[in-house]
Amino acid sequence: MNETLLRTFTKEEILHAFQDIDPRKAPGIDGLPSSFFRQHWDTVGEDVINLCINLLNGKADMASVNKTILVLIPKVQDPTSMKQLRPISLCTVLYKIVAKTIVNRRKQAIPLCISPNQAAFIQGRNISDNILVAHEIIHNINSGATKSSQGAALKLDMEKAFDRVEWSFLANVIERMGFASEWIDLIMRFITTVSFSVKINNSFSPPFQPQRGLRQGDPLSPFLFLFCTQGLSAYLAAAQQTKILLGLGACKYGPKVNHLLFVDDCMIFINTNQSEATLLKKALRTYANASGQAVNFEKSTIFYNPCTPSATRNAINNLLQVREVTNPGVYLGIPLLIGKNKTESLGFVRDKVHDRLSSWDKHLLSFSG
């Protein structure tokens, strides 16, 4: 694996990465979109390729192309605090080319390193896999009519997941996976040489350098975040192998699953006893302390088997400091529990279509179809 990753970078890899960049994306701090490079490739193409190869080989300063505009996108209509703003990074095209070159090269290695419980950004895995598994386990939890089928599903809310990643933790995880030190050094150059200028009211703040976190808008960030979540996934998998956190199955004799991940969307399945809840709390605390991640327990929810005694529920709720719900709600955009009233359960589909259609300008619609 390391031999493949460390082979010499080629002109063909740079061209392939450049062609992957959407020409409609906003430009970086230099103001040059990828459409500019496409239109004038005969003039600038050779210089771009040589610079990118030098950047990847450590012969050019990565910081020179790693200057980033930070744009604050409102999450709500009238934001009143920084928590209601989402920071999006506008990277330069030159940086995107070298970042995508790295992404394309490591695509073959990622499925070998990331737990099958994580379904995001990995070729051959699909978001629907997690939805189906979660739906079947939730159905089994909800339909259990005896105490022997007791179980609970915990939906975790991670606070500012990308922004909290500790670089040292990320480097340690990649090293533990067996990647060569040269490859790790290259990855860390992408992360540690970044500088930000915040765009506010058409003006830019003085540049500053972060000390942790991954950029939303960086082609490399989603894949690096998978390595971060792999720390939690490996911890929970080890706990399952040692029969500490066994997890739940879709049926009595089916395979057990104790967690599902899709980027930072995390669902954990436990047996409803205080010992498992205590061990889960310890696992989450250990992961948070090491990685910088923070679980918002106030926004996290837990769904129990109907036969679970009230005393057990209260004890686990107090221990985990989570909110108990009678319906697990939506997971990855799909309701986990669909009752007999399909109109009520699937009403969100109608509402989404209505909201989308209501935003269309009737003057732009053709009456002829």
pLDDT of the residue at 307: 87
User: Encoding tokens for residue 190?
Assistant: 């992408």
DSSP 164: G
pLDDT of the residue at 224: 96
Q: Please name which of 219, 169, 167 lies closest in space to residue 193, comparing C-alpha atoms.
A: 167
Strands of the sheet with 301-304, listed across from one edge = 259-262, 265-270, 152-156, 301-304, 323-325
User: Encoding tokens for residue 105?
Assistant: 């090269």
Q: Which amino acid is at 339?
A: G
pLDDT of the residue at 369: 52
> Is residue 202 left, alpha or beta, with left meaning phi > 0 and alpha meaning psi from -120 to 50?
left
| CA dihedral over 175, 181, 187, 190, signed as positive or negative | positive
Residues 6+ apart with CB under 8 A from 188: 167, 171
DSSP 310: H
Q: Please name which of 83, 71, 72 lies closest in space to residue 299, comparing C-alpha atoms.
A: 83
- Sheet strands (E) in the chain: 67-74, 85-90, 152-156, 195-200, 203-204, 259-262, 265-270, 301-304, 323-325, 330-331, 334-335
Q: Please name which of 65, 61, 147, 144 lies closest in space to residue 99, comparing C-alpha atoms.
A: 65
Task: Mark the ranges of the chain whose per-residue pLDDT is less than 50.
Answer: 146, 148
What is the Cα–Cα distance from 247 to 154, expressed in whole angstroms?
11
Tell me how far CA of residue 169 lies from CA of 92, 228, 369, in angstroms.
Answer: 27, 8, 56
Decide: helix, strand or coil at residue 89. Answer: strand
